[in-house]
């Protein structure tokens, strides 16, 4: 179990670095419309939501309400608290924050909370109705599929304000990735992936190559984009599982420590990162690198700055954690213990 958590932490660290890198390019560099952002957005949040589904704990009939209260404390209260802080920081109106399409960047928190609200009744229903483990599993998978169809159907009747308030557009986009993670955990798929890794890797590489071309050429979108995202996620998932089983030396050990360190604090980093971007101005430098075709240097700069921002966020998190009250309000925790 410990190894599994370690490679998941590394993947979470990678996903967090990609999220921060995307924000640095968009807010502090060359903006949204570039090949770097296109490729980052392709995978960063789908991977992030997949990993959240992968580590979800199954509720029981006895603790269902407690599970919901726990998620309110862990996610919803920090969402509202950081929303107030970022609103004051930006000189905006709190109502504008609540109805903003991206929630000033905090949409991920409310969407994650809503995914838990969808997952909990599905899990409890399958446990209650299923007469055996097999029938419960069938009902569980069927409920997830039906849930997605219902979510899509409801979107046709919701007004735009309701869609924005609930971040419903993001729910529609990321539902398959979160619940793919849930299903992989529920059915212990990693053992199958590892035991057949050569075949799996070959299929994934071929799929990524073909669908990446289709995606770049805007062919059969959004189907090609969805399949490409799933294939990339599974490729990273398998690679990090294999990495976990192999000895590491020198530079790889340093990368390992950095990824795990960041991966253990992803929620706090996500909430704190936005306050550093106004202090960073890389627009001119990135434009020079981009125009000069120095893509590797630009990517290296983004990675370095992303890691730096992540570590600064961890430092701020430690300061906040010195207060029990602030830890509850802004971190969703009563003590400094993260996984």
Question: Which positions ≥6 away from 234 have C-beta within 8 Å?
Answer: 193, 200, 204
Portion of the chain with pLDDT greater than 90, in percent: 78
Residue 178 pLDDT greater than 80, yes or no:
yes
Instruction: Give the percent of the chain with pLDDT over 70.
Output: 95
Q: Assess contact for 149 and 179: CB atoms under 8 A.
A: no
Paired tokens of 81: 């608290």
Of the ranges 26-35, 79-88, 152-161, 213-222, which one carries the lowest mean pLDDT score?
213-222
Complete DSSP assignment for 290-303: HHTT-HHHHHHHHH
Q: What's the Cα-to-Cα distance from 339 to each of 45, 154, 268, rounded to whole Å?
A: 19, 34, 11
Show Cβ contacts of residue 151 under 8 Å, excluding neighbours closer than 6 positions: 118, 171, 172, 175
d(CA 110, CA 137) in angstroms, rounded, equals: 28
Q: pLDDT tier at 339 (50, 70, 90 boundaries)?
A: very low
Rounded CA separation 143/249 (Å): 45
Residue with tokens 């929620």: 267
pTM for the full model?
0.93
pLDDT of 337 strictly over 80: no
Nearest-angstrom CA–CA distance, 75 and 96: 20
Tens of pLDDT, residue by residue over 91-107, are: 999 999 999 999 999 99
Place of tokens 């599993």: 137
Span 235-260, pLDDT tens digits = 999 999 888 777 565 667 888 899 99
Over residues 169-181, the mean pLDDT reads 97
Q: Which two tokens stand for residue 278?
A: 């106004």
> What is the per-residue DSSP string for 224-248?
HHHHHHHHHHHHHHHHHHHHHTS--
Please determine, for residue 3, whether its predicted confidence score (pLDDT) is greater than 90. Answer: no
Chain segment 18-45, per-residue pLDDT in tens: 999 999 999 999 999 999 999 999 999 9
CA 22 to chain CA centroid, Å, is 13
Which of 42, 41, 55 has the alpha carbon at shortest distance from 12?
Answer: 55
């Amino acid at each position: 179990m410990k190894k599994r958590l370690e490679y998941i932490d590394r993947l979470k660290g990678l996903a967090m670095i990609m999220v921060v890198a995307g924000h640095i390019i968009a807010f502090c560099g060359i903006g949204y419309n570039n090949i770097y952002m296109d490729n980052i957005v392709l995978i960063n949040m789908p991977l992030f939501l997949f990993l959240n589904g992968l580590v979800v704990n199954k509720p029981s009939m006895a603790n269902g309400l407690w599970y919901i209260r726990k998620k309110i404390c862990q996610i919803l209260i920090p969402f509202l608290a950081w929303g107030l802080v970022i609103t004051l920081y930006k000189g905006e109106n709190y109502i504008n924050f609540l109805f903003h399409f991206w929630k000033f960047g905090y949409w991920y928190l409310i969407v994650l909370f809503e995914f838990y609200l969808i997952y909990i009744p599905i899990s409890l229903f399958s446990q209650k109705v299923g007469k055996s483990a097999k029938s419960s599993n069938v009902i569980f998978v069927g409920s997830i599929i039906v849930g997605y169809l219902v979510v899509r159907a409801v979107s046709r009747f919701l007004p735009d304000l309701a869609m924005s308030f609930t971040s419903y557009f993001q729910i529609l986009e990321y539902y398959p990735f979160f619940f793919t993670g849930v299903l992989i955990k529920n059915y212990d798929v990693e053992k199958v992936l590892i035991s057949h890794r050569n075949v799996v890797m070959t299929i994934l590489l071929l799929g990524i190559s073909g669908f990446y071309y289709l995606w770049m050429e805007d062919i059969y979108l959004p189907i090609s984009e969805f399949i490409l995202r799933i294939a990339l996620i599974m490729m990273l998932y398998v690679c990090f599982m294999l990495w976990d089983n192999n000895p590491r030396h020198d530079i790889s050990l340093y990368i390992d420590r950095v990824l795990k360190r960041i991966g253990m604090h992803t929620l706090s980093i996500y909430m704190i990162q936005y306050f550093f971007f106004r202090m960073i101005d890389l627009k001119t430098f990135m434009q020079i690198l981009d125009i000069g075709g120095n893509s590797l240097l630009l990517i290296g700069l983004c990675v370095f700055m992303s890691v730096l921002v992540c570590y600064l966020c961890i430092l701020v998190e430690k300061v906040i954690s010195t207060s029990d009250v602030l830890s509850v309000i802004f971190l969703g925790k009563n003590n400094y213990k993260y996984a």
